[in-house]
Amino acid sequence: MKSPKFLLLTTVLFFNTLLFSLLAAQDIPGRPVPPRLVNDFAGVLTRQEAAMLESKLVAFNDSTSTQIAVVTISSLNGYDIMDYAQRLGENWGIGQKQLDNGVLILVKPKTQDSGGEIAIVQGYGLEGAIPDLTCVQIIDNEILPAFRENNYFDGLNAGTNTLMSLASGEFSASEYGNRARKGTKGEFPSGIIIFIIIIIILSIFGKSKGSKNKNIGSGNLPLWLLLSMMNSGGSHRGSWGGFSGGSGGGGGFGGFGGGSFGGGGARGGW
Pairwise CA distance, residues 68 & 95, whole Å: 8
pLDDT at 42 over 50: yes
Task: Give the chain's count of helices (H) and strands (E).
Answer: 9, 5
What pLDDT, on the 0 to 100 scale, is given for residue 262?
A: 85
What pLDDT, on the 0 to 100 scale, is given for residue 142?
A: 97
Model confidence pTM above 0.85: no
Pairwise CA distance, residues 173 & 179, whole Å: 10
Pairwise CA distance, residues 239 & 32, whole Å: 29
Mean pLDDT over 11-29 rounds to 49
Cβ 85 vs Cβ 73: under 8 Å:
no
| Burial of residue 265 (number of CB atoms within 10 Å: 0-12, 13-18, 19+) | buried
The mean-pLDDT minimum among 30-39, 140-149, 177-186 falls in 177-186
